[in-house]
Amino acid sequence: MLTVEQLSANYGPVRALDSVSLSVAPGEITAVLGANGAGKTTLLRTISGLVRPSGGRVTLAGRDLTGVSTEDLPGLGLAHVPEGRGVLAELTVEENLRLGALGARGRASTTELRRVYDLFPVLADRKNGLAHVLSGGERQMLVIGRALLSRPKVLLLDEPSLGLAPRIVAQIFELLRGLVLDGLAVVLVEQNARSALSIADHGVVLNLGQVVVRRDAAALVSDDGLRHAYLGF
């Protein structure tokens, strides 16, 4: 569903990504792991066009995304949830959710909104309240729900567990595992390597903008040397 081939990107003279390759199939989660500064967030930002690549290419369901503007990507099936849980604070929860469909189709149906509320019942309870009163975990649910309303084929998630209580993290990760059963492909950037690998099918470890290793998640967990050197557990 998503293929990244020899992708490179620079910040001025600094090479932030250096010939990174990976692929994600429908119904799978690929975890992108590594220390701070390894290039994980840059990888997602380059896939979604927020950072222009200096080399390589990205294809989505066989379509080359080179030159496609970022605002057109939701309509092609790519959704990106950046780090930081950004919401429009003075809009209601439901107004924030409805924004998710704008780039892809223009309007969210009642059925689609109901599906998000079924996934995140707490949002249904707060749908008419302003987004700025939500907790961190509720905001994370809101931004994921907003992304799902664009009907993505591929979901890019950047640090969804950051700063959240373990109970909320477990809830969100369980949800992700359920979403891929419907054929969604997920690229998960996550500092909490242990939790990410517990739900991922595959893992890619980055260091200084380069791929150190690509393996099945179970194989990464069982490699003590790799875990201690790069994953911190």
**Can you give the pLDDT at residue 103?**
65
- Convert the pLDDT of each residue in 89-122 to its tens digit: 899 999 999 988 886 666 777 888 999 999 999 9
Query: Where do the structural domains in the chain lie, given as residue ranges?
Result: 1-77+153-164+183-233, 83-151
Q: CB neighbours (10 Å) of residue 77? A: 20
Residues 99-109 as b/e (b if ≥16 CB within 10 A, e otherwise) read bbbebbeeebe
CB 89 within 8 A of CB 131: yes
Q: What stretch of H or E contains 32?
A: strand 29-33
Q: Is the alpha carbon torsion for 222, 225, 230, 233 positive or negative?
A: positive
Identify each DSSP E strand in 170-226 by its residue range.
185-189, 202-207, 210-216
- The backbone torsions φ and ψ at residue 125, rounded to the nearest 5 degrees and listed phi first, read -65, -25
Domain spanning 1-77+153-164+183-233: which superfamily? Answer: P-loop containing nucleotide triphosphate hydrolases (3.40.50.300)
Model confidence, pTM: 0.91
- Convert the pLDDT of each residue in 115-160 to its tens digit: 999 999 999 999 999 999 999 899 999 999 999 998 999 999 999 9
**Can you give the pLDDT at residue 49?**
93
Hey, what amino acid is at 11? Y
